[in-house]
Amino acid sequence: MSTPIRFAVTAASGELGRLVVAELARRVGPESVTAIVRDPARAAGLFPAGVTVRQGDYDQPETLVAALDGVERLLLISSNAVGARVPQHRNAIDAAKKAGVQNLIYTSVLHADTSRLGLAEEHRQTEALIVASGIPHTILRNGWYTENYAASILPALQHGAFIGSARDGRISSAARTDYAEAAAIALLDDKAPANAVLELAGDSAYTLTEFAAELSRQTGRQIPYVDLPEADYRGALVGAGLPAPLAGLLADSDVAAADGALFDEGRTLSSLLGRPTTPFATSVATALKG
């Protein structure tokens, strides 16, 4: 008799999804895990051997129902299609209900209910859809990934300055691997309180001035932090080649960070992990290694 595929991850070919699938496979065996991706052909080789790969597209509801057949516990990773995420997530939630998924875990954003982050509104609406569905659930309100800032290290080294719009706002980020491990733990925890909301963030916070100082320390170069008005920062990101919507999202997020939107000191993430979160200095070192 084949082992049932109890656990599934949507958007599994993304950076977070791949890490979650690998962690799940390590903990429960690949035969119990299914990775749901938009294009299975392009996902070849991304997952541990034995993981089942199924096609499921947020924009094609019929594929999602088929992909979730037999799945007991689902991690719904939020879409990266900012501006179109609510209908996409609605499709996934409806499919989960039709397929009889017993528990739904969703990756939201830190303090989604009160956050002034521009990207928080779609998460608020998605959380409401999950509650209305009646499916037992856990909301993982993920804070910022340290990689979001580490991605700017190479341009900072090229131009001799680390730029942003966060002023002296403190940022409680954690490594993507921390959030991935937490998602796997949440998926496997069938004794967790029903309909829990977890605010997940790094153990310690830093300002972008401190981030730039750590980059300077590790490289032996003087890389100052230069704070820019939102419009100037957005323009610099577009000039660096980022799509305008993404540049706008990052600039808005920095401005919100200046007002505390990316700060949290509850240490719920490290409590869930049973270990400290990854220090931002470690993520800087990892980025510098390439």
Helix (H, G, I), strand (E, B) or coil at 179: helix
Helix (H, G, I), strand (E, B) or coil at 149: helix
DSSP line for 166-177: -TT--B--B-HH
Helix (H, G, I), strand (E, B) or coil at 271: helix
Looking at residue 190, what is its pLDDT?
A: 83
Looking at residue 270, what is its pLDDT?
A: 98
Helix (H, G, I), strand (E, B) or coil at 141: strand
Burial class (CB in 10 A: 0-12, 13-18, 19+), 39: exposed
Looking at residue 1, what is its pLDDT?
A: 39
pLDDT exceeding 90 applies to what percent of the chain?
91
Confidence of residue 5 (pLDDT cuts 50, 70, 90): low
Q: With beta carbons less than 8 A apart as the criterion, state whether 89 and 129 touch.
A: yes
Mean pLDDT of the chain, nearest integer: 95
Dihedral angle of Cα 257, 140, 125, 7, to the nearest 10 degrees = 140
Dihedral angle of Cα 13, 262, 189, 90, to the nearest 10 degrees = -60
Predicted confidence (pLDDT) per residue in 118-162, tens digit? 999 999 999 999 999 999 999 999 999 999 999 999 999 999 999
Name the residue with higher pLDDT: 80 or 230.
Answer: 230
Q: With beta carbons less than 8 A apart as the criterion, state whether 183 and 140 touch.
A: yes
36 beta partners: 54
Architecture in CATH of 7-144+174-201+265-273? 3-Layer(aba) Sandwich (3.40)
Encode 204-221: b = buried (16+ Cβ within 10 Å), e = exposed. Answer: bbbbbbbbbbbbbeeeee
Domain ranges of the chain: 7-144+174-201+265-273
- Say if residue 92's pLDDT is above 90: yes
Q: With beta carbons less than 8 A apart as the criterion, state whether 166 and 255 touch.
A: yes
Looking at residue 191, what is its pLDDT?
A: 82
Would you state the structure tokens that stand for residue 195, as one six-digit string?
A: 């309909």
Confidence of residue 3 (pLDDT cuts 50, 70, 90): low
User: pTM here?
Assistant: 0.95
Predicted confidence (pLDDT) per residue in 8-57, tens digit? 999 999 999 999 999 999 999 999 999 999 999 999 999 999 999 999 99
Residue range 168-194: average pLDDT? 95
